[in-house]
Each structure stands twice: as structure tokens, then as C-alpha cells.
Amino acid sequence: MDRPRPCSRTKRSSRPILAENALLKAEAVSAGYGGRMIVEDVSLSVAPGEVLCLLGHNGAGKSTLLRAFFGLLPGRTGHVAVADRSLDGLTPRGVLLTGLAYVPQERSVFPKLTVRENLRMGGYALDDAALLARRVEQALDVFPRLRERIGQLAGTLSGGEQRMLEVARTLLLDPRVVMLDEPSIGLAPRLAEQVFSTIRDLAAQGRGILLVEQSVKRALAVSDRAVVMEMGRIVLEDSAAALASDDRVAKLYMGAAGKAFDQPPR
């Protein structure tokens, strides 16, 4: 599958032009906790086969945005849709069944269940036993390491293997878009690279990927486009390649603190 053409311009706006063929569309989304807004007026889109990365320091609102999209923050305003099907007002279960999957930063495997049992839990909404078995096999084809440990208790897997299991479990309902929050956190470099390789494989299947990742260089290397969030708003967006070479991004997220985004690049 051809990779989507990256955006050719850099913008300082929370209202980017949303792709007409986007799988995920979010318009003017605001959300927070206990009446305090953390994310304000954010708009973005993810096209089929595209990896969009959210960058920003801790507290910028990246994880809050993913939780808002998934229906975990009931006070969310704005509009979110997957393949033109509105997610507004849906519970997390409804969001998942509509085609948006979410892998949170925190570990979410069932430690006392086997790998196979964990995978089958991901297909809890499938009434067709044959379809469920087929989906499990397809997930194991994506993650052959899990096939080797199919009868092992999930709690005894390594951190990288547990993360693979979480991602594999999301595939049981064949989501159109997958949101990943810090998928490489706590992983050894070799296992992290396997996770990033899997992200590109999922995009190659035509899925949209929305990625939050602490390792900026790795995130930009695996992404097509990226947006930078500060104080709950999008302040910069461009192709991943352009942002990887942007002096402001390098200074703020790849090394010593540098210039703010209200200053033009050199």
C-alpha cells in the first residue's frame, strides 16, 4: 500500500485541514477532569495507512486527548468520528465496536490468564466462534513470539511481550484506527524496535495509527505526520521528516531546552 502523502506545510493552529478520506476525524475537541479543561479546541485527522504522532512534554495533554477520543472523559466536547461514523456520546465499548481501539500506557493484560485466553477476551463481542478463532490466528501471525507462548500466563511474560499481547488483543475486533499511548515505555531497545516495526505493519494493512511516544526520534522515524502539543493545544504540525529536522523540535524534545514555537525556525 502506498503511504499517504505527508502534509507539505508547517502550521501553528489547532484547526488543521482535515483529510477528506480520513479514517479518524476530530474537530474542536476539548476535554479535561473535574471541570478543568486539559485539552482545548483540538482538531486532527488520520488517513488510512497513516501513522500520526502526537509530540509534547509531559502534561501537554496527549494522553488526555486519546482518552477523550475513546469515550473515557464524559465531559468531552467537539466532534469525533471514525470512517464518518460519529463517536459522540458513545461509551468506550461503543467506540471500540465502531472501529477505534486504544492501547493505554498502563499495562492491561489479565495476568492470571494465558496468552490465548487474553486474546479471546479481546474478541468478547464476536458471536461467531469460527470468526473469533480465525482472528486469534491472524493476530498470532502478526506476533509469532506470542504463538510460542500461547499457553503461558500473561503475568509471566516480559514487558515487551505483554505490550505485544495488548496490541494483538486490539486486533480481534478488526479496528479501523488504533491509538497507542507510549508503546515502548519500559522496553529494552530491541523489543521497542519490534513494537515500532509492528506499528508500520498495522499501517500497511490500511489502518490508521495515532501514536503517543516518549522516544521522539523513534516516533518520527516510524510516522508519516506529526503534531506538537503544548498546554493542551496543537502548536505545530508537519510531515514527520520535516519535524525531525526542525530546530525547534530538536531543541525542545531531543536535547537541551530551546526556542518556543512562537518563534520562526532559522
* Structure confidence by residue, pLDDT tens digits, 129-161: 999 999 999 999 988 989 999 999 999 998 888
Cβ-proximal residues to 25 (8 Å cutoff; 6+ apart), any chain? 18, 45, 79, 80, 81, 84
Cβ-proximal residues to 126 (8 Å cutoff; 6+ apart), any chain? 132, 135, 172, 173
Measure Cα distances from 149 to 33, 140, 192 in Å.
Answer: 39, 10, 19
Q: What is the DSSP code string of 62-128?
A: HHHHHHHHTT--TT-EEEEEETTEE-TT--HHHHHHHTEEEE-SS----TTSBHHHHHHHHTTT---
Q: Sign (positive/negative) of CA torsion 7, 242, 179, 145?
A: positive
What cell was used for 141? 501471525
For residue 238, the number of C-alpha atoms closer than 13 Å in the C-beta half-sphere is 16
Provide the residue count of the chain.
266
Residue 255: CB atoms within 10 Å: 9
What cell was used for 231? 498546554
Where is pLDDT greater, at 42 or 164?
A: 42
Rounded to a whole number, what is the largest CA-CA distance in the chain?
59
Is the pLDDT at 111 greater than 70, yes or no?
yes
Which pLDDT band holds residue 10 (cuts at 50, 70, 90)? Answer: very low
Percent residues over pLDDT 90 in the chain = 64
What cell was used for 240? 514527520
CATH class of domain segment(s) 24-106+175-253: alpha beta
Overall average pLDDT of the 159-176 stretch: 91
Average pLDDT over the chain, rounded to whole? 87
Measure Cα distances from 193 to 81, 89, 187, 219 in Å.
Answer: 31, 36, 9, 11
Cβ-proximal residues to 97 (8 Å cutoff; 6+ apart), any chain? 125, 173
Please answer whether residues 157 and 166 qualify as being in contact, where contact means their C-beta atoms are separated by less than 8 angstroms.
no
DSSP 175: -
Annotated domain spans of the chain: 24-106+175-253
Is the pLDDT at 6 greater than 80, yes or no?
no
The label of the residue with cell 530538536 reads 250
Is the pLDDT at 126 greater than 90, yes or no?
no
pTM of the model: 0.86
43-69: pLDDT as tens digits = 999 999 999 999 999 899 999 999 999
Q: Amino acid identity, residue 58?
A: N
Overall average pLDDT of the 23-28 stretch: 97
SS3 for 44? strand
